[in-house]
Amino acid sequence: MKIDIRQIDSGEESIVIRYKELRPEIKKILDVLNGGNTKITGRKDDQRVVIDPEDILYIESVDDKTFACTREDVFRMDYSLQGMLLQLNDIRFFRCSKAMIINVDKVKSLKSLSSNRIDATLDNGEHIIISRAYASEFRKYLKGGVSNG
C-alpha cells in the first residue's frame, strides 16, 4: 500500500483513500477517522462500567443474556450479540458461532479441527471454537476479505 502525505500551506485539509477492496486494514483506518474508538458500557455488581472494546476478549450469549469477557472481569451487556456487533462497529470483532463474538486481535494461535472447525487460542490461554458455519468466512477474513460485522 502506497501512502502519500503532503503538508499544505492553505486551503481545506482533506483525506483521500483509494482502494480496490475494503480490506480489514482499510476498515481500521476508516474506523479511526470516523472516531471508531468508542467506549461501551456494561454492568458489574449492579454498577454501570465503561469498557474499552480493546480490552474485550470475547462476547458470549448465555441463556438470552450477553456477557463481555475481559482478562480480569465479566460484564453483563444490554445488547444482543448482533446489537453488540452494531454497537462496536469494529473490524476486530468477528461472529465465530451462534452464541459468540471474538476479538481477533486477542487470538494468539489457530488450529484446524475436524468437521471444518477452528480452535482459536486467545492470549489469556482460553480456547474458543469457531464453528463450521463461520469458519469459511473467518478464513476469508484472515486473508483480508470480508468481515461478518
Q: DSSP readout, 4-50?
A: -----SSS--------SS--HHHHHHHHHHTT----EEEEETTEEEE
- Indicate the pLDDT class of residue 39, thresholds 50, 70 and 90: confident
Confidence of residue 34 (pLDDT cuts 50, 70, 90): low
Q: What is the pTM of this model?
A: 0.73
Helix (H) or strand (E) holding 65: strand 65-70
Return the C-alpha cell found at 27: 476498515
* 85 in Cβ contact with 101 (< 8 Å): yes
CB 91 within 8 A of CB 56: no
Fold of the 37-142 domain: OB fold (Dihydrolipoamide Acetyltransferase, E2P) (2.40.50)
First-residue to last-residue Cα distance in the chain: 24
Q: What is the b/e burial string over 110-148, where b = at least 16 CB atoms within 10 angstroms of the residue's CB?
A: eeeeeeebbebebeeeeebebbeebbebbeebeeeeebe
DSSP code, position 128: E
Q: How confident is the model at residue 67 (pLDDT cuts 50, 70, 90)?
A: very high
| pLDDT surpassing 70 at residue 36 | no
Q: Which amino acid is at 26?
A: I
